[in-house]
Amino acid sequence: MGSEAVVAPLTELNVKIDEPEYVKPVEPCENTSPFFLTNADQMLAFTVETMYFYAANPEKPSDTVADTLKMALSKILVHYDFLAGRVRLNEQLKRMEIDRNYAGAQFATASCDLTLAELGDVSVPNALFRKFVPQAHNATTISDIPLMMVQVTTFKCGGHAIGFGMSHLVWDGHGVVDFLFNLTSLAQGGPLVSEPKPNRDMFKARDPPTPVFDHPEYLKLDDLGHVPSLGGPFTTPEAAESEFEGIAPSPKHITQVFPFSAKDLATLKMRAMAEGVLKKVSTFEALAGHVWQARTKAIDALPNDIAQLLYAVDVRDRLDPPLPKGFVGNALYSACARATCEEIWDRLVGGVPRRPSRDEWNLHHLVAENAVLLHGLWVGEASLCRTCSAPYGGVCNFPAQSPPKWQLGRRSGFATGCDD
Could you tell me where the beta strands, DSSP code E, fall in 279-413? 306-314, 332-340, 383-385
Phi–psi pair at 143, nearest 5 degrees:
-70, -15
- The three-state secondary structure class of 124 is coil
pLDDT value, residue 274: 81
Q: Within a 13 Å sphere around the CA of 2, how many CA atoms are in the beta-carbon half? A: 3
What distance in Å separates the CA atoms of residue 6 and residue 144, rounded to the nearest whole number? Answer: 43
Q: What is the pTM of this model?
A: 0.75
Q: Is the peptide bond before 209 cis (omega within 30 degrees of 0)?
A: no
- Could you tell me the sign of the dihedral formed by the alpha carbons of 134, 135, 138, 140, in that order? positive
Q: Angle at which helices 65-76 and 173-187 pack, to 10 degrees?
A: 120
pLDDT value, residue 386: 35
Give me the CATH topology for the region 218-385: Chloramphenicol Acetyltransferase (3.30.559)
CATH node for 15-201+397-417? 3.30.559.10
- Which 8-state DSSP code applies to residue 118? G
Phi–psi pair at 183, nearest 5 degrees:
-65, -40
Amino acid at residue number 322: P
- Residue-wise pLDDT tens for the chain (420 aa)? 444 555 666 788 999 999 999 999 999 999 999 999 998 899 899 999 999 999 998 888 888 999 999 999 999 999 999 999 999 999 898 899 999 999 999 999 999 999 999 999 888 888 899 999 999 999 988 999 999 999 999 999 999 999 999 999 999 999 999 999 999 999 999 999 999 999 998 888 777 777 776 776 666 555 555 555 544 545 555 565 665 565 555 667 777 778 899 999 999 998 888 877 778 888 888 888 888 888 888 888 899 998 888 888 888 988 888 999 999 999 988 888 888 888 888 766 555 555 444 444 444 444 444 444 443 333 333 333 333 333 333 333 333 333 333 333 222 232 333 333
What distance in Å separates the CA atoms of residue 324 and residue 195, rounded to the nearest whole number? Answer: 10
Q: Is the peptide bond before 208 cis (omega within 30 degrees of 0)?
A: yes
Beta-carbon neighbour count of residue 389 at 10 Å?
9
Instruction: Provide CATH 3.30.559.10 ranges for the chain.
Output: 15-201+397-417
pLDDT value, residue 398: 32
